[in-house]
A = this chain, B = another copy of it.
Amino acid sequence: MSLVDKLKWRYATKKFDSTKKIAADKLEYILEAIQLAPTSIGLQQFKVLVIEDESIRARLREAAFGQPQVTDASHLIVFAAEILTPEHGKKYIDHVAATRNVERATLSGFEDMVQGAITGRTPEQLLVWAQKQAYIALGVLIAAASEQEVDSAPMEGFNPAKFDEILGLTEKGLTATVIAGIGYRADDDPNSKLKKVRKHKDDMFIRI
């Protein structure tokens, strides 16, 4: 099956089979896809929580309007946007220089651009910018999980402040942004029988 066939197979899973766990190598594969997702200037301005712990998930579920996917999926993924500081920019340039084995000084023009992108934004703009990048990675997660025939349920319906508190994110400069349950659909998930609803191509694409 092609990726498009796999994306047709997937749907917003409502009821996961809580007894089925994603195999360790498959989970690492999906995380690697997230790691490879592109981000603005390559800054990867978010972190990704991979949560199995049952008691924490029970608390998170309460902060997510009781949605069962939070506890019943094999793993809960929380994308947490990172408010960048100039220190993050400096570390990023260090990492680029080390990875590509180049003198740091050769990156000074790039560093100015990176630092300008950080210091030129208000805290609110930094947050929205980081959140958008996390959503790219969510799209890549959806694709990679589907390719592996792993079900996924992205969710915005949760209380970010409560998630931040439960997960201790605020003190790390992080904000819970979007979450996804990943795992395997229950045989009796009624959502799996529903016909997928999408705009027709003519309503969605403007060709010029």
Measured CB to CB, the residues of A under 8 A from B are 2-4, 7-8, 12, 29, 31-38, 40, 42, 44, 47-53, 56, 95-96, 99-100, 128, 131-133, 135-144, 147, 154, 156, 167, 178, 194-199, 201, 204-208
Min Cβ gap A140→B in Å is: 4
A7 contacts B36, C-beta separation under 8 Å: yes
A206 contacts B49, C-beta separation under 8 Å: yes
Residues of B within 8 A of A4 (CB): 29, 32-33, 36, 144
Which residue of B48, B136, B178, B208 contacts A52 across the interface (Cβ within 8 Å)?
A: B208
With A3-B3, A142-B136 as given contacts, are A199 and B44 in contact (CB-CB < 8 Å)?
yes
Cα of A205 to Cα of B42 in the assembled complex, Å: 16
Cα of A51 to Cα of B207 in the assembled complex, Å: 6
A204 contacts B35, C-beta separation under 8 Å: yes
Q: Which of A38, A194, A196 has the most CB of B within 10 A?
A: A38
The residue of chain B having its C-beta at the shortest distance from the C-beta of A155 within the complex is B40
The residue of chain B having its C-beta at the shortest distance from the C-beta of A75 within the complex is B207
Can you add 8 more A-B contacts, CB < 8 Å, to A4-B32, A100-B195?
A4-B29, A4-B144, A7-B36, A31-B205, A37-B139, A44-B204, A47-B205, A131-B132
